[in-house]
Amino acid sequence: MLTRRTWLLIPLVFAGHAVAARAQEVAPPPPPIVPPTCEIATAPPAARWYAGVDVLWLARDYPTDALLAQTVNANASTMFRAVPIPGAPVITLGSVSDTAAQPGLRATVGFRVADRTSVELGYFGLQHWARSASILGRDPPFVNSPFMGSSIIYENKSFDTSMTARYASEIHSAEVNAWRAFDVGNWTGSALGGFRYFNLSEQFSLTGFQTFPNVPEGAPPASQTIREQTRVTADNNLFGAQIGAEVGRAFLNDRVGFGVNGKVGIFANSANQFTTNGAGLVTGGSGTSVLAAGRGRTDVAGLYEGGITTTVRVTSRVTVRAGYQVLFVQGLALAPTQLAQTGTAIRDSFVFVPGSYVPRDFTLPVPATKLPAPGTGSGLDTSGNLLLHGPFVGLGVSY
DSSP string, 180-203: EEEEETTEEEEEEEEEEEEEEEEE
The answer, yes or no, to whether residue 55 has pLDDT greater than 60, is yes
Confidence bin at 267 (pLDDT 50/70/90): very high
Query: Which range (23-27, 128-132, 149-153, 157-161) has the least confidence?
Result: 23-27
User: Does residue 94 register a pLDDT over 80?
Assistant: yes
Round to whole Å and give the CA distance between 188 and 179.
Answer: 13
- At 153, the pLDDT band (50, 70, 90 cuts) reads low
Distance of alpha carbon 319 from alpha carbon 43, whole angstroms: 9
Is 14 a residue whose pLDDT tops 50? no
pLDDT at residue 309 above 50? yes
Q: In this predicted model, which residue has the larger pLDDT, 111 or 38?
A: 111
Q: Given this model, what pLDDT does residue 160 score?
A: 86
Q: What's the average model confidence in pLDDT over 84-104?
A: 94
* pLDDT > 90: percent of the chain: 57
Using DSSP's 3-state secondary structure scheme, residue 22 falls into helix
In this structure, what DSSP letter does residue 151 have?
B
Residue 273, strand partner residues: 234, 295
DSSP for 45-78 reads TT--EEEEEEEEEEEEE-----EEEEEEE--GGG
pLDDT at 11 over 50: no
Average pLDDT over residues 92-117: 95
Q: In this structure, are residues 303 and 265 in contact, taking their beta carbons and an 8 Å threshold?
A: yes
Question: What's the pLDDT score for residue 83?
Answer: 86
Whether residue 352 is predicted with pLDDT greater than 90 in this model: the reply is no
Question: What are phi and psi for residue 35, nearest 5 degrees?
Answer: -75, -45
**Which of the two residues, 398 and 351, has the higher pLDDT score?**
398
Ranking 10-19, 95-104, 234-243 by mean pLDDT, the lowest is 10-19
Closest CA to 318 of 34, 107, 39, 30: 39
Regarding predicted confidence, which is higher, 346 or 380?
A: 380
The mean per-residue pLDDT over the stretch 50-66 comes to 92
Predicted confidence band of residue 2 (pLDDT cuts 50, 70, 90):
very low
Task: State the pLDDT at residue 73.
Answer: 86
Closest by alpha carbon to 110, among 356, 382, 399? 399
Give the model confidence (pLDDT) of 219-255 as tens digits. 555 557 889 999 999 999 999 999 999 999 999 988 9
- Give the percent of the chain with pLDDT over 70: 79
Q: What is the pLDDT of residue 47?
A: 74
Each residue's pLDDT tens digit, 271-295: 999 999 998 888 777 788 888 999 9
pLDDT higher than 50, residue 17:
no
Q: What confidence category does residue 213 fall into, taking pLDDT thresholds of 50, 70 and 90?
A: low
Which range of 44-48, 139-143, 300-304 scores highest in mean pLDDT? It is 300-304
Mean pLDDT of the chain: 84
Q: What is the pLDDT of residue 286?
A: 76
- Provide the pLDDT for residue 26: 39
- What is residue 281's predicted lDDT score, i.e. its pLDDT? 84
Residue 111 has pLDDT above 60, yes or no: yes
216 falls in which pLDDT band (50, 70, 90)?
A: low
Q: What's the CA gap between 243 and 262, in Å, rounded?
A: 9
Cα dist from 325 to 57, 262, 289, 295, whole Å? 9, 10, 44, 33
Q: Between 351 and 4, name the one with better pLDDT.
A: 351
Do 135 and 180 form a contact (C-beta atoms < 8 A)?
no
Q: How many degrees, rounded to 5, is the angle at CA 298 between CA 382 and CA 131?
A: 40
pLDDT exceeds cutoff 90 at 64: no
Please, which pLDDT band fits residue 360 given cuts at 50, 70 and 90?
Answer: low
Query: What is the model's pLDDT at position 345?
Result: 83
